[in-house]
Structures are given as C-alpha cells and as structure tokens.
Structure 1
Amino acid sequence: MIRKLESIFVLTDDERQALETLPMQVVAIKENQDLVRAGDRPSRSCLVLSGFACTYKMTVQGKRQIVSFNLPGDIPDLQSLHLRVLDNGISTISPCRVGFIRHEALRDICDRYPRIASAFWRETLIDASIFREWVLNVGQREAYTRMAHVLCELLTRLGAVGLTQDHSCNLPITQSEFADALGATTVHVNRVLQQMRADGLIELKGDRLNIPDWEKLKRVGEFDPTYLHLEDYQAAA
C-alpha cells in the first residue's frame, strides 16, 4: 500500500510510519470469491496485498463487465469510506492476501495526518481517471488495440509497485476475464492474443507475460500513461 501511494504521492517518514502501523485483518482468499457485492454497506475497506482482483458490474441478465483490475497495493473500495452503499462488486481473480481495514481506523489516520487523507483522495481520483480511460478503450478502440492498451496499463501499474522485471510480469488473468473487461467474446480474445503473439508483441508462458518490444506495444495500444498520474512519469516529463 505504501509503495502504491508513493507512486502517486510524496509521503513523509512520519506518514509512512503511521501507515505501517495501520491495524488490519489479513485473510487468504481463493480465486473467484467476492470481497464485496453491489448493495453492501461495508464497515471496512479491503487492501490487496498479493494476487489480482477486479471491480465489476452486472447486468440484469447476469452478464459481467469488469471495469478495472485491482493489483497489489490497491484499495479498490476506498470510496466506501464516504459512500454508504456500494454500487459495484469486487472479486478475486487469483488467490489473494487481503488486508481488511476498519473505517474507524482509516478515518482516524486521515484526521491525524491530513496529507494521508489527500493521498487517499488522489488515489480515488486516479481510479476515476482509469474508469474514464476504460470507457474510451471499450467504446472506441478495436479489440486488438484494446488488448494492447490494457496490457500496457497492467505492466505500468505493476511496475509502479515493483512487480515487473525487464517488461515482464506475472499475469494470472484468464481469457474469459479479459473478455469481460474488453467487451468481447472469449473466442475473440483468444484470436487477438494469438495474433499479438504472431506479431511479436507479446510472449505468454502460463501466467508469465513478457513484452519483447515495449515501445511498439505502446504505439499499438495508443497508450499514454498520463491518466495514471504516476509521480515518476510526471517527474520525467
């Protein structure tokens, strides 16, 4: 969590120490388990410590639209600190370790450290920025570009918390889950991934993703990391 926050906000030593002592209940959770559901009124927020999760919405007919992938360091339901009723679900997509932090503890640390409250606010604003980018991605880009863009985002966000190496990372996301995220069928996702392999854009071995040509993948995916508002990118700019 600290590494994630420091990728978008500069923390002081005191603020970092306060976050390190934040009380939480750590639970190991299997894949495909809901952490929260739409309509819940949670009294705690969940921090993804390891593994992958997703935020999703459901149609009346039972079709799922994944609206974001949740990575280690994310607090995907931080908005529940201020919104009483959740309007989305959050589910694991791989085995996860999740830290549950009671809202009283979050409110207390925000009262004692106003800049931590600003960091949390910035995180929720960036979540909204990612949602906007995903609306554009699903609504206006072709499936091939759509997939390249999501892969670029995942690699960049994982890199921000130190979980990539030489444009390579673990990616325990199934083709069915990509289909739910991209608004495509599983068959179409399979064809896109096969074509991306043939074009030398990606290498997939099990859950391991390698990007042989990062600049080419970014061009194909029309990927500009501005919407992620990462400190390192802003400093470089």
Structure 2
Amino acid sequence: MRPAPLPSDHSPLVRKLESIFPLDDHERQALLDLPMQVAAFKEGQDVVREGDRPSRSFVILSGFTCTYKMTGDGKRQIVTFGVAGDMPDLQSLHLKVLDISVATLTPCSVGFIQHEDLWNLCLRQPRIAAAFWRETLVEGAAFREWVVNVGRREAYPRMAHILCELLVRLRAVGLAEDHTCDLPITQTEFADALGVTTVHVNRVLQQMRAEGLIETKGSRLNIPDWERLKAIGDFDPTYLHLRRDEAVP
C-alpha cells in the first residue's frame, strides 16, 4: 500500500458527497488533500470484518462491495451494495467495534483514511463533518428501505426495487448513462441480498427479460421501461436524499 491523495477533482469521494451535500472549492480541496493508503483487493475478499476495532475508514475508489451479516448457522445476509465513492465503514469513526463485514464483489481499489485525519478534517471543516453526518443518515434511510423490501415485498418487486436503487446510485456518481450501467453482481449475491434462493433469482430475472423490463449483456444492464420497473418495485428515490434532480433518470 502507498500513501496518496485522491486522484483528481472528479474523485469518487467528492462525487459521492456532492450528490447529497453542496461543497465549495475549498471543501473539495480539503477532501482531495486527505492522506490515504490505496490498496487493491481481489474479488471475494473481506476489507473489514465484524468485531474489528479499526483505526481507519475506507472509501471505495473503484469496484463493487457488499456489506453483510452472518447468521449463527453460516447464512449470509447482504444489507447493502457499495459503489465507488461510498465509505461503508464510516461508522467506525464513532463506533469503535464494527458490527458489520464488508467484502469485495469485484476487484476493487480502496483508499484507507486514518481516523485521526478524518477527525482533524471534521474539526477544521464543520460543513464536511455535516456532509459525513448526512451520508450516515442517508445510509440509515437506505437500510430502513431494505427492511421493507425484504420483509414486505414479493421477490419480483423486491428485485425491481433493488435494480432501480442501484441504477440511481450509480447515476448519481457518474457511473450510469440514462438507464444503462455496469452491474457485475451475481445471482448468488442478489439472492443473499433479497433473502431468496439463487434459483428464484434466476426465474425472476428471466421473467423480467421476457417482459421487456430489463436487458442484460454480460455485466451490462439496460432498463428499457424505467417507469414500469419503478412501478413494479414500488420505488421512490426520496430515501436516497439526492441533491441533483438529474441523478434520477
């Protein structure tokens, strides 16, 4: 791992925070100046584990992650997917023992930032501290929406909802065009997020393709009928609390 600043003013962290909070040039530069250690992770590696007591948090610079919990009998429940710009373990700045694990779904580049540097930044820049606070509140809102999705929707609208969310989140940080994005998430990973079997996920996706709701080519997802998919998934992006109207297709 090597110390490095964030790569440019289009850095994933800046883009993510600006999607939910207005930043000025001075605040952007303060984020760009944060020292970090950049590390590469292979697919299927834990970045942090439940029970860890970390002295740093990390930002996803590229790739996809999942935040998950394990049951006593070894079953995994994914509680959110992470995309570039997200800080999945930001809570460790205040909660000293992690109650979640974060794993890579694809090869990922992540940047570790020492808690001491984050604390100093927040003390110097109270609006950035407010942006981080808002980020954790939005994360909490998303968790509540996922509880409703898994607990009260059937598998078909459940999948529609999660596809809508991922497209909107990727679009907000510049990783989707219109209704098309790269989504390298396997059926097994969707099954762990939706609380159904892999076979059920396969059937749902086949039905969605047959009905013209989605098109897939490799990891590429296209949604030809956005309004219909939103309606089926009962999807309202309000809980993501995005700043920019254009972030929503």
1:18 to 15, 18, 30: 30
Q: Classify the secondary structure of the residue corresponding to 1:62.
A: coil
1:18-75 per-residue CA deviation (whole Å, 9 max, x = no partner) reads 0011111111110110011100000010100000001000001000000000010000
TM-score, structure 1 length as denominator?
A: 0.98
Alignment length (residue pairs) = 236
1:57 to 55, 69, 92: 69
2:119 to 96, 107, 115: 107
Amino acid at match of 1:177: E
Instruction: Determine the structure 2 residue equivalent to 1:153.
Output: 165
Note the residue ranges of structure 2 that are not aligned, 5 or more in a row. 1-12
Amino acid at match of 2:209: R
1:181-202 per-residue CA deviation (whole Å, 9 max, x = no partner) reads 0000000000000000001000
TM-score, structure 2 length as denominator?
A: 0.93
**Percent of pairs with identical residues:** 71
Note the residue ranges of structure 1 that are not aligned, 5 or more in a row. none
**Alpha-carbon distance in 2 for matches of 1:62, 1:233:** 41
- 1:26-175 correspondence runs (5 A): 26-175=38-187
Cα distance, 1:235 vs structure 2: 10
Cα distance, 1:78 vs structure 2: 0.2
1:127-154 per-residue CA deviation (whole Å, 9 max, x = no partner) reads 0000000000000001000000000000
**Alpha-carbon distance in 1 for matches of 2:96, 2:41:** 24
1:183 to 195, 199, 202: 195
Cα distance, 1:213 vs structure 2: 1.1
**Alpha-carbon distance in 2 for matches of 1:199, 1:22:** 47
Cα distance, 1:233 vs structure 2: 3.5
Whether the 8 Å CA contact 2:168–2:247 is kept in 1: the answer is no
**Alpha-carbon distance in 2 for matches of 1:125, 1:105:** 21
Amino acid at match of 2:94: H
1:58-108 per-residue CA deviation (whole Å, 9 max, x = no partner) reads 001000000000010000000000000000100000000000111011001
